[in-house]
Amino acid sequence: QKEVEQNSGPLSVPEGAIASLNCTYSDRGSQSFFWYRQYSGKSPELIMSIYSNGDKEDGRFTAQLNKASQYVSLLIRDSQPSDSATYLCAGHAGNNRKLIWGLGTSLAVNP
Amino acid sequence: EPEVTQTPSHQVTQMGQEVILRCVPISNHLYFYWYRQILGQKVEFLVSFYNNEISEKSEIFDDQFSVERPDGSNFTLKIRSTKLEDSAMYFCASTQLTTGTGKDNEQFFGPGTRLTVL
């Protein structure tokens, strides 16, 4: 059974701090990984994608991938109250395959 | 910016009734997906669709479910005889055809249809 695991949280950080979200996956065939943000009652919104080992930065967000350890992370710098949401990690085996999802980590950024 | 749209936003139906959920994927995208999310649970893959045929489907996608692209823009999910356990948010997503790795693997989601089966 291919699984993506995340700590459900809640993770609580003060405004301006760095939020660190983690994800592990079981399928070594997974090639691509994605972080989505989901506000309550809304659909997943793509934040970052990462395909290669190492770091990928986009604004306040940095995704990290370590395929040997089967580990993906998302760092949010200068966290804002508007970042409060559930962050979903998802991966797939490539070539338009289905996404396999984690349960998500709930993040609360406190003013 | 182009986006995936879905209608209706909320559908209430009686158990045993048929429902059709509609999606308009992003116009230059060629792969389409349906996912669902039961309240408090993981997002679950239902089916993917490419070139007018199902590319991949999950165990959830049994004979009660079907998908169709009736014209050049719409993509529909039909549930023939709804059950209480079909109550969930249903999300449509689309992506460009993969040419290898890169941004064309990214799946973009519509706002969802909340299906309530009574």
Q: What is the pLDDT of residues B5-17, one digit of tens each?
A: 999 999 999 999 9
Determine phi and psi for B62, rounding to 5 degrees: -95, -165
**What b/e readout covers B64-83, taking b as 16+ CB neighbours within 10 angstroms?**
ebebebeeeeebebebeebe
Which residue in chain B has the smallest CA separation from A92?
B105
In chain A, residues with a C-beta closer than 8 Å to the C-beta of B89 are 43
User: Residue B42 and residue A106: Cα distance in Å, rounded?
Assistant: 13
CB A10 within 8 A of CB A19: no
User: Do strands A105-110 and A85-92 pair parallel, antiparallel, or not at all (unpaired)?
Assistant: antiparallel
Smallest Cβ distance to A46: which of B50, B58, B108? B108
At A48 the pLDDT is 93
In chain B, residues with a C-beta closer than 8 Å to the C-beta of A101 are 42-44
Q: What is the pLDDT of residues B48-107, one digit of tens each?
A: 999 899 999 999 999 999 999 988 889 999 999 999 999 999 999 999 866 655 565 789
